[in-house]
Amino acid sequence: MNLWHNIDGSTAEAQLRGLSRRLAELDEAMKGGQRMLADNPQSFAARLSLESLSQLQERLQLERVALVRHRKRERVAIALKGNTFSDHTANIGQLGLFLVRVQGLYQSIAQAITTGPKSRGPISQDILRSTDLRFANVYPSSFGMEIFVNSAFDDSGESTAVSTLQTLFNLLNAARREEEVVRLSGELGQRSLGHLRKVLRDLERTGAGFALGWTDVTGTEYCWSAETDDIPQLNRNVNRFQEKYVGECTFEGALIGASLLRNRFEFMDMNKQIIEGKITRAVKPKLREFFGSWCSVSLDKVDIIDNYSNETRSYFTMLDINPRAASQTPQ
């Protein structure tokens, strides 16, 4: 099944690799420009420099959009391991449950990165459609499967399916590293971590391991694998923490840093306290006009509690940003 349409895939991947490098370099330059403008809000030179960098970023993004529109679908390879999946066969009930768990995890991650880490309420139909995983083929492994999902890049070059795959691999890798699993627990919230716990719990119960593979639009390979002996430790790592959704908070201050590439923000409130966190896809189109500017932001707050030490850490996700009505500056 072809991943690209009306373009040579290798050519498109090479061009997108070049654009990704330039956008990453530009992202670093813009971080410096945003800092300068935040320190000197009246500086014409700082604002002109940042606007110039922003215009260049927009031009490169348009080049990227023209290429990724040719990407039609993403191929994900899943291999299940262990005695349960020996002789290239699988118990239908266990396989079906595993796939349902993976679909639930994938959709919950999509919701978190699109609208924030709230765990309540149904997932929107748009997200469900964008993350509909399709079983297509099996291949030699303990039990290997090909899963496809439509890329569906929008006019700004964003794809819910692709962003969610990237975050899924980040989450699986984080399960091996305490600091990362804490941060992603805070940014993705209770629903996503609950689905991950179910996946790991079922694998441990059946004595199975699994591997995941995917190649993105730049030709970069994402690979993750856990043997049957690895699953219990991953399960313990993820269950060490619990997530508590605190709620939506509003702050006034200045946006002193924002990365549209990494979906991160830095915000200084009126008491000159720095808040860092994740940007939802819904708010990204509004960010450019507030680079280095005073504004009001709506943030989702999630507390992560370490069940061993009882330590609590707070994590923030930006839901919205608007002009600040008052004219005062931080004291």
Lookup: tokens for 2: 């072809």
Number of helices and strands (H, E) in the chain?
7, 10
Q: Where are the alpha helices (DSSP H) in 212-313?
A: 231-239
Q: For the chain, 331 residues long, give each residue's pLDDT as a single digit of tens.
A: 899 999 999 999 999 999 999 999 999 898 888 878 877 777 888 888 888 998 999 999 999 999 999 999 999 999 999 888 877 888 889 999 999 999 999 999 999 999 888 767 789 999 999 999 999 998 876 789 999 999 999 998 999 999 999 999 999 999 998 778 898 999 999 899 999 999 999 999 999 999 999 999 999 999 999 999 999 999 999 999 998 989 999 999 989 889 988 999 999 999 999 999 999 988 988 888 888 778 999 999 999 999 888 899 999 999 999 998 755 555 4
Domain with CATH 1.10.287 in the chain: 1-71
Polymer length of the chain? 331
Class of the CATH domain delimited by 246-331: mainly beta
- CA-to-CA distance for 243 and 101, rounded, in angstroms? 20
**CB 97: neighbour CB atoms within 10 A?**
15
Write out the residue limits of the CATH 2.40.50 domain(s) in the chain. 246-331
DSSP one-letter code for 259 = E
| CATH architecture designation of domain 1-71 | Orthogonal Bundle (1.10)
Distance of CA 12 to the CA centre of its chain: 23
> Can you give the C-alpha Rg of the chain in angstroms?
21
